[in-house]
Amino acid sequence: MVSLSDGAMNVAAAKMYFHNHLSVRDYYAQDESLANGYVLGKGAEALGLNGNEITAEQFDRLLQGRDPTSGAVLRAKATHGDTERAGWDVTLSPPKTVSIQALVAGDRRLIEADRQAAIRAIHEVEPCALSRQHGGSQWVQTGNVVAVMFEHHEARESINGEHGPMPQLHHHTFIANLTHRPDGQWRGLDPDQIYKARRFIDAVYMSELAKNVQQLGYQIVRGSDGTFELAGFTRKQIEAFSERSQDIERIETERGITNPRAARDIRLETRKPKREHDAAALRAEHQALAAEHGIDLSYRPTTPVHTFAISPEAQAERSFNFAIRLKRAEYVGIQSDILTNGKGNLVWLKGSIGTLKSRPNGIRKL
């Protein structure tokens, strides 16, 4: 699942975000580069940072619109009202069964599978990047972002739980308020189209992750909303490792909350601060909990699985024959639907668009 922060973070909040939360290593983490921050995006590449770790000093400079290496000013102070906008948080979280199998059962191939899906999804953010030019009177598509990805392996503790923080793979990705215009100037990023494309970015992430875990040999069970779980897990087993989610759902039910903004407030209200735990003891406790609920921690599939109901090519043509009659916004929604419903993945989706565009009666205008 992909979620975006409720508006931009200011510089002070973003500094706290890095120093007190994102750069803190989890108990299950073994790759420190992802815990410390991994820089990606075409904007980062233009700054000479793509694929590298980022230091606290470099991150602070980035928040202020400065070159992370030289400290040179790249953009003027970016304000929105009285607030200087530093950037936005995108969080990518896999299904709970992926976290259980990766972190408790120890199939670390799934960590890499999730990591690559998250990176792919963030790259798909870039075509949505906009800025302004000519004194703010004209929009321009920049096609690049500067993003810093932090990998975490645990959820916050439950307010009523008895097992410490539960295993939960997720990637926080900070997208800086900075983008490189076609004229060579650095300016503030306008995230409007990124927010509008959230559904598509989510579909890319889940589709890529589903493809990756199936290539490892895992069967999946798809939900009606485009999510999936690894096959072989029961609802009770999933709930045993979802204590914080149950806290939130219980309070929402008790208070009759249905509004998304109010639901976000509940997440903040029930968010316990991190505290120290003995890593070995926590792993042993999680393994015992898995055994108690009948989870086979030794399972390691190796034969790739493919579950397309019809060929990707046939589904692409069926969908795009319909899409050519739609406006561009609806066309993007069609792409999301194809990925969400498990009818294909991003590689063949883009390939099919190119093939259909090349036909005399294709989709040249989309």
Give catalytic residue positions.
Answer: 27-28
Rounded CA separation 170/181 (Å): 31
Q: Which long-range contacts (CB under 8 A, 24 or more apart) does 349-354 make?
A: 349/312, 349/316, 352/312, 352/313, 352/316, 352/317, 352/320, 353/316, 353/320
User: What are the angstrom distances between the C-alpha of 184 and each of 133, 179, 208?
Assistant: 12, 10, 33
Closest-CA residue to 2 (of 180, 160, 198): 198
Rounded CA separation 242/258 (Å): 20
| SS3 (DSSP) at 89 | strand
CA dihedral 236, 241, 244, 247 (to 10 degrees): 20
Sequence-ordered list of residues with C-beta below 8 angstroms from that of 170, at least 6 positions apart, any chain: 91, 92, 93, 94, 151, 152, 155
Radius of gyration of the chain (CA): 21
Specify the pairing of strand 228-230 against strand 220-222: antiparallel
Closest-CA residue to 207 (of 6, 37, 350, 28): 350
8 Å CB contact between 133 and 30: no
Task: DSSP for 258-326, please give it.
Answer: --HHHHHHHHHHT-PPP----HHHHHHHHHHHHHHTT--TT----S-----SS-HHHHHHHHHHHHTTS
